[in-house]
Amino acid sequence: MKLLNDLMSIFPDQDFWAKMRPQKYPSLAVIKTEAGLKMLRKKYREFKYKIPEKNTIQLGEKAGEDKIYKKKTKTIKDFIDG
């Protein structure tokens, strides 16, 4: 029970524990190791991650005139020479 209480104090969210499906371990002591805690922290961050809202940028009025560029065709010879 002490190991379970320690893990519950580190990761207190009840929904996390209800929805997490860990692998089968012979003991909770395996999860309390450094590698086990690293795996649990990763899963907890994934569980708690909220997708940020998409910010829309409001553009103002268009300023200036449009400039039209004439496209000059470039041949292979022009590319090599140039």
Report whether pLDDT(67) > 80.
yes
Residues 6+ apart with CB under 8 A from 31: 3, 7, 22, 25, 37, 39, 40
Residue 12 located in a structural domain: yes
Directed axis angle between helix 34-48 and helix 2-10, to 10°? Answer: 40
pLDDT at position 14 is 85
Domain range for 34: 2-48
Residue 18 located in a structural domain: yes
Q: Work out how many domains the chain is built from and give that number.
A: 1
Mean pLDDT of all residues in 9-16: 86
Q: How does the average pLDDT of the chain come out, rounded? A: 84
Residue 68 located in a structural domain: no
pTM for the complete prediction? 0.56
Residue 39 located in a structural domain: yes
